[in-house]
Structure formats: C-alpha cells, structure tokens
Amino acid sequence: MQLSIAWMERDPMQTKLHLMTLLAAMLISASVIAADWSASSTYTAGNTATYKSQTWKARTQGNLPGAAQWGQWELASDSTPVPTPVFSETACKTDWVSSSSYIGGSIVGYLGHNYTAKWWVNAGEEPDKSSNWNDSGACTGSSGGSTTPYPPTGGIPTMAQALAREADLTNNDFFRKVKASVRTASNTIVDAVAPGKSDNPLNVKRVESLVPEQKFQYYFSVRHPSYTYQRFLQAIAKFPGICDDYSDGRNADQICRRSLATMFAHFAQETGGHSVTQYGIDEWRQALVHVREMGCNETGTGCGYNTECTDPVFNGVWTCGKNADGSFKKYFGRGAKQLSYNYNYGPFSQVMFSGDQTKLLNEPDLIAESWLNMASATFFFVYPQPPKPSMLHVIDGTWVPNAQDKARGLSNDFPTTIQIINAECQDATLKPAAKNRIDYYTEFARDLGWDIKQESMNCTNMQRFEKGSSAAYPIFWEKTWSAGQDNQCQLVDYQTPYNALIEGNYVKCVEKNWNVKLK
C-alpha cells in the first residue's frame, strides 16, 4: 500500500484524526488479508492463508500438511474460486515408529514433515522434539507416526512381547547387515564338514578352492596337532558370512583372499614360533604353534585370568566354573586367537552353543581341544567391538569410515585390523609386533593372489577408534532408566553383558535388571 504524505501538512487535529482512521483501516485490512500461504507452514482449522490473491480458510481441525494433500479449504471472500493449492510434491517417508531405533541418515515421516536422523537415535525420541533429528521439510502422504506404548498396560511384558520388542529395536539396516555377517550354522552342519565333501557349505567350498589341504599344510607345517585342516574348515562353516557371496557386485573371491591373509597374519603373530633358528622356515609360516598360552596349563599355578570371577557384575552374568576343590576354572589364552577371560568365554559359548553360556565357562579347555580352537578366531573376525568395526567389515568394505576415522588414519586397509586387535600402529616408529603382522600379511597375500598395492600399508601415527567413529554403534542392551519405561531395556554404545547381536539377550537384560520372569 503506497501512502501519500501531502495531508500531513494539514491542521494537527485533522492529521490526528486521519492517522487514527488510517490505522483502523490497516488493522481491518490485516484481519482480512491473510499472510501468504507457505509450503513450510502447518495449518489447522480456522487458519487463513492468501494464495493467488485469494484468502483461504482451513476447514478441518488437525488436518496437518501432508495428511490429505493440503486438506479441505474454503474461500474466505466472495471472489471467484481458484484451484485449491497443493501443499508439496515431496512424499512422506515411512512413518516414524516409537518402538524402533534408527541409524544416522535414516529418514522418517512424522506429522507432515520428513525428519533425518543426525546419528543413532534411540526408540521413543520423537522427531519434532529430539535434537537428534533434523527437520527435512514438509511432505505429503501418511505421516502420523506410531506411538503405541510398550510394555502394555499391566507393566510386565509377556515373553512374546519382549521378543517382538527386541525385533523392533533391531529392525534397521545396520543390524540387518551385521546380523547377516555374524550368523551361525548349526553345530550339526559344522560337525558334518570334512575336506572335499560335495555337500560342504558354499563358503567352505570357496575356502577349499583357495586354500586346499596341501597349501594349508605348507602354511602351517609346524602347527600344534590340535589345529587340523578339518577343524579350520569347520570354523569357517560356523560363520557363513566369511568368504560368502555378495549380491552387490563385490568380488567374493578377492574379499576371501584378503580375509584369509588377514586371519593368517594375525595367527602368525598371536600363536607363532617367531624363530627361524628353531623352526628352520620363514616366520610367516610358523603360525599356530601354540594352542594354549605359553607357560599356562590347567593344573599349574598362575595364569588364572579369573580375578573377574569374584566381581559380582561379571560373575553374575558370566558365572565362572569351578574345579572339584572349589577353585575357579582358568580362562587363559586358548586357540588361534588366544581367547582370554570369562567375559569373552561366556559370549563365545553363547554363540557356539545356541545361547548356552555355561558350556565353555565350565569346560574352557574345549577351546584348545576341538574345532573351537579355530572358531574362536573366526568369531573374533566377524564380531564388531564398538567403536571398532569387525575385521570382516573393514576388509569387505561394509564399514565406511567417516571424517573422524579418516583423520585418525583408519580406513579399509590391513593396518586398521591391527588397531582392532591390539592398537599397535600408534607410534611414530613402527612397533616390532605391527611390523611382524604386516610382513606376514604381505607374504600370505602374495601367495593367495591379493595385490597389497591396492591398499595402504601405513601403520604409524594412527589413532584408536573413538566414540565418534562411524562404527560406534549401540549394540548392547542396558536397563532403561527413563521414567515410565519400567521392565524395558535400551540399546547403548558401551559394553554390557548383553550383546544385542545375540538373540535372546534382550529378555535376559529385562529379567536380570528388573528382577522379573517373563512368561
């Protein structure tokens, strides 16, 4: 509205009257001429908006943008109607579900807007209230979101409801990928594996083609008798994700070559003879000499690795076995990975024996005297340890380093697996142990047909994985402390006794932390 100022030269009283009249007119005009319609605004019943010189009034209370392609509108003036404005061409993503957690980058629809998770978002964090979500703008289509309460009225969930809750909270792309890589075959299938059998699993056949028995004998000619070729194949069979096929174009044979070279190099450092004089062959071929930690045995003194057995937290979950005299079993290093401590024996036992954590806690030496001596290493290879990814996902590219990881020198290369196993790549000068691993890897890779020029071998001035890593996933169950969420557990990114990658641990977390028994 353009105003003339000529009248301001009139009598002051007249000027005052004119000003009052003008202000009143402006107020009346403002009540009739509504603000321009905005695609980024939300309108409810009674709100008005100007669109193409027409004033429109929302008819329906609660008809939020996107609920029905802008909703029902009526003209607020007598002018000729124009087409009802269309809210937006952006479709709403899948509705946010209150019982689900989301990884960074996930997009959900909620109350007429799409929201993008900045990073991991726990279940129950409403997109329009939590700072862990970014508002990505208005959208059209269903986006009411789900707010179904859990547990149901009555407080204690049933067993079925708790299992459904566990499934909901792990129903995302991250958990699907990791669970696929750590899945296990039944021990019946594993026990049936033998060299050359036509019905061996797919991944075992791939390994047999790359490392036939003759080559295994060459690589590990001075190994302990407990490490047999059959047991090696059985350890591969237990974890079908190792040397598996890929449906996205990745070269499965090349990934398998790298995976085997990585495992063998770490075998050589962890269990090798490390003496050309004593064994008469190159050090890289001296792996698997030791099946038990040097100087340790069941009956001798020392090497207990069982001080945690007196800890009420860890022993309450990973309860240590006892000998006939009442002393605790020993959990010193055993197998190709030299697995140690009750809090590692217990989870390994859960995975190997269908959830039975007591098997290896009561019989720890099974890891030395059965195919578990090799499976303890394949177990370590496929399981992530947030904020560290699994070695497998470093090698096959499933893990994608973020800016922080790259700044720390962490990438999809062999030295990063050294940081995972023992963090030996942090000094300006290459540590002897790290140099050994790289030297061994170089030889195994060459013999297996993998060109290490395709990756970096730099292993100095790297840094440890930290909380900001792209691999800092919450994969452990912990008691939910929030008010009104009794008898529940939540996902956290620090270690607890309840690994969410092992099915059934949600129920154990609820029962232990809330002192209830689910039925």
What are 390-446's pLDDT values in tens digits?
Answer: 999 999 999 999 999 999 999 999 999 999 999 999 989 999 999 999 999 999 999
Q: How far is CA 46 from CA 71, 111, 512, in A?
A: 13, 19, 53
Tokens of 84: 């009802």
pLDDT band at 142; cut points 50, 70, 90: low
| Mean predicted confidence (pLDDT) in 176-198 | 96
Largest CA distance in the chain: 117
Q: How far is CA 490 from CA 59, 298, 388, in A?
A: 42, 39, 20
Percent of the chain with pLDDT over 90: 59
| Mean predicted confidence (pLDDT) in 62-84 | 41
CATH fold group of domain 91-143: Seminal Fluid Protein  PDC-109 (Domain B) (2.10.10)
Confidence (pLDDT) at 68: 32
Does 134 or 397 have the greater pLDDT score? 397
- Among 291, 293, 323, residue whose Cα is nearest residue 309: 323
φ/ψ bin of 319: left (φ > 0), alpha (ψ from -120 to 50), beta (otherwise)? beta
Given a cut of 60, whether residue 70 has pLDDT beyond it is no
- CA distance linking residue 361 with residue 346, whole number of Å: 6
DSSP 302-314: S----GGGG-TTH
Given a cut of 80, whether residue 187 has pLDDT beyond it is yes
Those residues with Cβ within 8 angstroms of residue 120's Cβ, 6 or more apart along the chain or in another chain: 101, 102, 103, 104, 132, 473, 474, 491, 493
Residues 118-149: b if buried by 16+ CB within 10 A, e if exposed: eebbbbbbebeeeebbeebebbbbebebeeee
H-helix segments, 89-158? none
CB atoms within 10 A of CB 323: 11
pLDDT band at 228; cut points 50, 70, 90: very high
Q: Tokens 């009674």 label which residue?
A: 46
Confidence (pLDDT) at 88: 38
CA–centroid distance for 497 within its chain: 17
Percent of the chain with pLDDT over 70: 80
Confidence (pLDDT) at 266: 97
Q: Give 1-54 pLDDT, tens digit per residue.
A: 433 333 333 344 444 444 344 334 434 444 444 666 555 555 555 667 665 555
Mean pLDDT of the chain: 83
Residue type, 296: C
Q: Give 443-467 pLDDT, tens digit per residue.
A: 999 999 999 999 999 999 999 999 8
SS3 state at 328: strand
Confidence (pLDDT) at 79: 43
Q: Tokens 């007598």 label which residue?
A: 78
- Among 122, 139, 103, residue whose Cα is nearest residue 400: 103
Domain edges within the chain: 91-143, 156-185+474-518, 201-454
Confidence (pLDDT) at 131: 84
- CA distance linking residue 190 with residue 227, whole number of Å: 16
Does 244 or 19 have the greater pLDDT score? 244
pLDDT band at 141; cut points 50, 70, 90: low
pLDDT band at 72; cut points 50, 70, 90: very low
Confidence (pLDDT) at 8: 37
SS3 state at 107: strand
Confidence (pLDDT) at 208: 98
Confidence (pLDDT) at 53: 56
SS3 state at 460: coil
Q: Give 37-47 pLDDT, tens digit per residue.
A: 555 555 555 66
- CA distance linking residue 503 with residue 487, whole number of Å: 18
Does 147 or 400 have the greater pLDDT score? 400
Measured over the CA atoms of residue 267, residue 268, residue 270 and residue 273, the dihedral's sign is positive
CB atoms within 10 A of CB 420: 22
Q: Give 86-113 pLDDT, tens digit per residue.
A: 333 577 777 787 767 777 777 888 877 8
Confidence (pLDDT) at 87: 35
Confidence (pLDDT) at 274: 97
Domains 91-143 and 201-454 belong to one CATH topology: no
CATH fold group of domain 201-454: Lysozyme (1.10.530)
| Mean predicted confidence (pLDDT) in 74-88 | 43
Q: What 3 state SS string does 191-260 have?
A: HHCCCCCCCCCHHHHHHHHHCCHHHHHHHCCCCCCCCCHHHHHHHHHHCCCCCCCCCCCCCHHHHHHHHH
- CA distance linking residue 284 with residue 304, whole number of Å: 30
Tabulate helix, strand, coil % of the chain (nearest 5): 35, 10, 55
Confidence (pLDDT) at 504: 87
H-helix segments, 411-490? 414-421, 432-448
